[in-house]
A and B are shown apart, each in its own frame.
Chain A
């Protein structure tokens, strides 16, 4: 089977699987977030944290709850890392240095999972399980909670209430992420992913040297790492490690897992606003961009523009032989299209244009399909901006799903849109302006620049994948990237929640023949166009000096 056939089969089977799963999962999530009953365990949790689950919150209260929860999470995770030598299951590892601990804490709480450390040699099992894995669940649930609050803003009328953050958080974790992750973990174990508490094995290699082979509770973490679009690997090399990603089919399963919730959420959205076709339109926007990106990445990689790749038929440098080019490209595109950031190959070694695709995916704001929850709310913001610009052309003041997009709404949507470019570009500019920070680059010229640009793009969009090459473990980068993660996560969330509040307050405008239809191919095409053009315009100078300069030379 040629690489191209393999790639086509890989992508086609993924599409079929996602097409089959998005409906039942989307409907299930709809029931989870709109149901009124609380299970015994949930009631216990609510009593424990002192929350009345029936009381809904206004947007500001919702946002405060979310921020409070996140601050506590950061502190707890920081503490766990700093004290790991005094707690159990520490594997005898020293406390994590303060700047790394800060970076890691915000990284996992913000669903970024940028790793400024080598997993197996820095974090003991307790930190991995009670700290990082827990955040893998709840940070994903936070994203979904925010998306649900925004959707309620569209679905509800004349109300201040957007639901209860704690209920959304608990339900997302217990009813959606835990069960799916549990099943997925079992399947992964069957595929050869390890799950143990064993201390590292010392083995003698073929050449006679010795090597430490760490085990660990990997499968459990691996499942939620993909499902919750987290991406923080147990091991340093992430999903390229055979204990994290053993074979071709576990590779397929991991890609499926990281796409399954983001692609199902539009269905949930459609059900909640009572118009399935609106959900389908959003899904179509995501699917069109995702498919184009996956195909282009594969094409660039398979074409392999350099001499060596052409000699061997494709660019194999930095890719696992187990997965091959399509298995790597089709992992790299989805992991950057979502906010996952897990990697099974070195993006640094991709062809310049293939590497640019991974960058561009993140620059899109990770909306196709994006992270768990964050993809949906990011896409809805873009839909709002599209409606605002193009909606005027039907001769009415803009409205989306029966809600007027007025000054307040467009202000919040614009602020949302401003955050990431501001962080990415100013972060990159700061680093490039300082000789000290430039020294962290492995390569020079456009490729070295791409490494820095990639790092800031990745953290500001809460992706977490690393291009590689950049020595980002310095205190300056740890702090700067950490700040980008915090601001890149929570500023947009606050703007989204404020927008949700302002939408929910409105009375609905009934649709008529004069209303811009937002469920047709025309609108899908427009959102795709606006998304790509806005992003391209914002980042073109940076891309021109990095991957484009390299790829076009």
Chain B
């Protein structure tokens, strides 16, 4: 794992599980303006029925204002157009954030040529190739890439090993190793080979490379409405129809009301012909859910974008949405829950041996041991017992005994003393072979450590002709800091965490207990994983998992949210619906939170949008009808200056609330993992109650400004 990734995870662990916010640069509003104007085209706007209605209303008002011009009419017309424009701006800003990234990616792709092999047999040094454009490569073609060249397309390394700079995609500057066979054979088009030479079999279709997909995703070009977005759009359309009916049918009622009171002079809003067209349109636009209608697609794009900022690519918005619904998380133990390698945690001497003596022997036997376990022993000896680390070269007479699969131990022979550490059975046999008699004590210690989920390494020595066991090193999986807290959060959110491990059940259980996961799957095979996912899904649960190997592919495909590691095989990347460019399995938890945040933002702004209507009625209804029925003036609770200023203020509020909420739509509402009830209460207060109150204040403030305009009283 590259160090920067560790940095990422510790950063996100530090803030109590809160999803961090993306920032909105005010300049983006300005640079997105041309895009916003382009989106005024009704043929593209029809995808957003609410805003299409606004545009039609704006166009209609323009005609009316031309026929019968007044300051009021033109002010309304201006703000209606601004309403549409602001909605387009929201979408353009959201899309704009991906554009920069797309440009970098395009640059990596541009003008790449490929050296396609014309004949090749595995193992032969001599190859013949032709130079073609990268765009002409077909699936199954073999290409040769040497140091300094760009890999022309996605594929698997079939021969050779090379270090590859993948920073164009991951932003990670440290090179990675790609080699044929195994789980690190996948290479991505657009990345650069730094050393050596590899032969790559292309696995993509032309124009469908990973980079192509990334470009499409970050630009939002391939964005399709997600199921929930479709459903919400239906509800918004229904509300629009309801309010359309309410405003249109108001006309004959208004004419009647006006004409039964013939003595009343015509007002700007109401004449003998009924409510003026401009005012009717204003009322309609104020009532239909423009706020959420304007921001809906921006929320979706921004959600994907928040993932991109965390170096996760979601292949579809559907997957992001599913992430919010996930109720079971399958987490690989290694790398996700634990730090990846077992580490020495304790030296347990047998009776009659000092702990320091054991520590010394353990350290000595591990000085040349380059395995993570061996290194951890040296580190632990230094930390816990103050033993200075010595380079193997310092000990001139030492003869190092490396670990082999046959002996299952390693150690050192120095100055007639032999020290060994290794698997319990192997070391004890070695001691017996040298005439020693390990006491029963050793067996108890070993069993005790195994029983607690740790791994025992026995340390033995032969000194002065006597062989004996000194003690046992307790190696254990170290659970990452803060994991228990995170799993508690998950539980509160109703998400079950299941740890997947190849360990035996005893070890698995001990780690599961320590980490605080809800369940574990020990000695897990890929088939077991698949079966577990199916079983959870049978019960109606949505499952998320991470994976990197080819044998993970079926499970990744089956899971509702399958996050493939970028270091993984092409098969795994194909099967999953998200790719984590940092290859950090812990990110699954963040992905779930981002999914939830996306849904909450959508719900919160919908609620806010509907709640806003109450105040607008209080502004507009008395403005139109108080002339006829003075009693209705009591509804003018905001005491707005005049009918014109009331209507105009409502329309202006309706427009600028869109711009005001763009930052919120971009970064998502504040989200802290907690129970559904608590989340709901908070959001109801902020966006429900707030949605009722805010426009009363906002419209009043705008009115204080607007009333100073000419023609407003």
Cβ A549 vs Cβ B257 within 8 A: yes
By a CB distance below 8 angstroms, the chain B residues around A510 are 327, 539-541
B604 / chain A contacts, CB cutoff of 8 Å: 392-393
Pick from A402, A409, A433, A551: contact of B252, CB under 8 Å: A433
Cβ contact within 8 Å between B632 and A548: yes
B540 and A402 within 8 A (CB): yes
Chain A: minimal CB distance from B451 (Å): 33
Are the C-beta atoms of B494 and A533 separated by less than 8 Å?
no
Question: What does the 1/0 interface line of A284-322 toward B look like (CB < 8 Å)?
Answer: 000000000000000000000000000000000000000
Quote the shortest CB–CB distance from B664 to chain A (angstroms): 14
A196 within 8 A of B: no
Question: Is A545 a contact of B625 with CB atoms below 8 Å?
Answer: yes
What's the Cα separation between A526 and B676 when bound, in Å? 14
Q: Is the CB of A421 within 8 A of B540?
A: no
In the assembled complex, A512 has its CB within 8 A of some CB on chain B: yes
Q: Are B603 and A390 in contact (CB under 8 A)?
A: yes
In the bound complex, residues from chain B placing their C-beta under 8 Å from that of A72 are none
Chain A minimum-CB-distance residue to B536: A510
Interface string of A494-518 (1 = CB under 8 A from B): 0000000000000111101111110
Q: Are A541 and B250 in contact (CB under 8 A)?
A: yes
Task: Please measure, in the bound complex, the distance between the C-alpha atom of A72 and the C-alpha atom of B677, giving whole angstroms.
Answer: 49
Complex CA gap A52/B238 in Å reads 40
With both chains docked as a complex, state the minimum distance between the C-beta of A428 and any C-beta of chain B, in angstroms. 7
Pick from A395, A411, A421: contact of B600, CB under 8 Å: A395
Interface contact B253-A542, CB-CB below 8 Å? yes
Specify which chain B residues have a CB less than 8 angstroms from the CB of A513 in the assembled complex: 491-494, 675-676
Assess whether A405 is interfacial by the CB under 8 Å rule: yes
With an 8 A cutoff between CB atoms, is A539 at the interface?
yes
| Residue in A426, A512, A539 whose beta carbon sits within 8 Å of that of B495 in the complex | A512
B251 close to A429 (CB less than 8 A) = yes
Total interface residues on A, using CB and 8 Å?
69
Docked CA distance A37–B59 (Å):
65
Stretch at the interface among A336-344, A366-374, A444-452, A463-471: A444-452
Tell which of B260, B491, B603, B607 has the most Cβ of chain A within 10 Å.
Answer: B603
Task: Provide the bound-state CA to CA distance between A542 and B325, in Å.
Answer: 41
Which residue, A415, A428, A513, has most C-beta atoms of chain B within 10 A?
Answer: A513
Chain A residues, CB < 8 A from B630: 553
A541/B227 in contact, CB under 8 A: no
> Nearest chain-B residue to A514 (Cβ)?
B494
Which B residues touch A327, using CB under 8 A?
none
Whether B131 is near chain A, meaning CB under 8 Å from some CB there, is no
A67 at the interface (CB under 8 A from B): no
* A-chain residues with CB within 8 Å of residue B677 when the two chains form the complex: 517, 520, 522
A440 beta carbon closer than 8 Å to chain B: no
Min CB distance A195 to B, Å, is 45
Q: Which residues of A contact B245 (CB under 8 A)?
A: 421-422, 425-426
**B248-A429 in contact (CB<8A):** yes
- Determine whether the beta carbon of B324 is less than 8 Å from that of A396: yes
Nearest-neighbor residue (CB-CB) of A543 within chain B: B621
Distance, CA A512 to CA B613, complexed state (A)? 34
Residue among A396, A414, A549 making CB contact with B238, cutoff 8 Å:
A414
The stretch from B144-152, B412-420, B546-554, B679-687 touching chain A is: B679-687
Most chain B CB inside 10 Å of its own CB: which residue of A417, A448, A549? A549
Q: Return chain B residues, CB-CB under 8 Å to A541.
A: 246-247, 250, 253, 621
Q: Mark A335-359, 1 if CB is under 8 A from B, else 0.
A: 0000000000000000000000000
* B234 CB to nearest chain A CB (Å): 5
Q: How far is the CB of B494 from chain A (nearest CB, A)?
A: 3
Q: How far is the CA of A428 from the CA of B607 in the complex (A)?
A: 30
Q: Is the CB of A421 within 8 A of B684?
A: no
B537 to chain A, nearest CB (A): 9
B254 at the interface (CB under 8 A from A): yes
Known contacts A392-B606, A522-B680, A549-B629, A417 near B238 by CB under 8 Å:
yes
Q: A393-B683, A407-B230, A414-B238 are in contact. Are A549 and B671 (CB under 8 A)?
A: no
Chain B contact residues: over half helix, strand or loop, or mixed?
Answer: helix
Q: Does A397 contact B (CB under 8 A)?
A: yes
Q: Contact size class for B?
A: 35 or more
Q: Which residues of A contact B261 (CB under 8 A)?
A: 445
When chains A and B are docked, how far (Å) is the Cα of A388 from the Cα of B238? 13
**Shortest Cβ gap from A338 to chain B (Å):** 24
Residue of B nearest to A516 (CB): B676
Contact B250 A396 (CB under 8 A): no
CA distance A438 to B493 in the complex (A): 58
In the complex, the answer to whether A390 meets B227 with C-beta atoms within 8 Å is no
**Cβ contact within 8 Å between A393 and B227:** no
Is A41 among interface residues, defined by CB-CB distance under 8 A? Answer: no
Q: Does B635 contact A (CB under 8 A)?
A: yes
CB distance from B461 to the nearest CB of A (A): 55
Cross-interface CB contact of B287 among A402, A446, A537, cutoff 8 Å: A537
**A426 with B249: CB separation less than 8 A:** yes
Alpha-carbon distance between A517 and B212 when the two chains are bound, in angstroms = 43
B242, CB-defined interface residue at 8 Å: yes
The complex places the Cα of A397 from the Cα of B227 at a distance, in Å, of 9
Q: Given the complex, which residues of A lie within 8 Å of B327, measured CB to CB? A: 510, 512, 514
- C-alpha spacing A414/B687, complex, angstroms: 22
Residue of A nearest to B492 (CB): A513
In the complex, chain B residues 580-617 whose Cβ is within 8 Å of any chain A Cβ: 595-597, 599-600, 602-604, 606-607, 610-611, 613-614, 617
Which of chain A's residues have a CB closer than 8 A to the CB of B688?
390, 529
A390 with B684: in contact, given A385-B235, A395-B600, A406-B231 (CB under 8 Å)?
A: yes
Q: Cβ of B253: which chain A residues have Cβ within 8 Å of it?
A: 428-429, 432, 449, 541-542, 545
A512 touches B251 (CB 8 A): no
In the assembled complex, the Cα of A515 lies from the Cα of B677 at a distance in Å of 8
Question: B629–A446 contact, CB under 8 A?
Answer: yes
Q: Are B256 and A438 in contact (CB under 8 A)?
A: yes
Complex Cα distance A414/B49, Å?
A: 15
Cα A402 to Cα B597 in complex, Å, equals: 21
Give the residues in chain B near A533, CB-CB below 8 Å. Answer: 610-611, 613-614
CA gap between A514 and B629 in the complex, in Å: 50
Q: From A402, which residue of chain B is reached at the shortest CB distance?
A: B540
- In the bound assembly, the distance between CA atoms of A142 and B249 in angstroms comes to 32
Q: How far is the CA of A437 from the CA of B312 in the complex (A)?
A: 65
The answer for the CA separation of A88 and B234 in the assembled complex, in Å, is 54
Q: Bound state CA distance, A481 and B321, in angstroms?
A: 45
The yes or no answer to A538 lying at the interface (CB within 8 A) is: yes
Q: Is A180 an interface residue (CB 8 A)?
A: no
Least CB distance, A386 to chain B, in whole angstroms = 10
* Given A429-B251, A514-B327, A552-B634, A407 contacting B234 (CB threshold 8 A): yes
Q: Which of B237, B253, B596, B600 has the most CB of A within 10 A?
A: B253
Shortest C-beta distance, B629 to chain A (Å), equals: 4
B631 within 8 Å of A (CB atoms): yes
Is B241 engaged at the interface, CB distance under 8 Å to the other chain? yes
* CA gap between A426 and B248 in the complex, in Å: 9
A392 x B228 contact (CB < 8 A):
yes
Chain B residues with Cβ below 8 Å from A544 are 621, 625, 629, 632, 635
Residue of chain B at shortest CB distance from A444:
B260
A-B contact sample (19 more), CB < 8 A, given A395-B671, A446-B257: A393-B680, A394-B676, A395-B596, A395-B679, A396-B324, A410-B235, A415-B238, A421-B246, A429-B250, A445-B260, A449-B256, A507-B540, A510-B540, A512-B494, A514-B493, A515-B676, A522-B677, A533-B610, A553-B629
| 4 cross-chain pairs, A with B, having the tightest CB-CB distances, nearest first | A392-B603, A514-B494, A395-B596, A512-B494
Chain A to chain B contacts (Cβ below 8 Å), 8 pairs: A390-B603, A395-B599, A407-B231, A522-B684, A536-B614, A538-B246, A542-B253, A549-B629
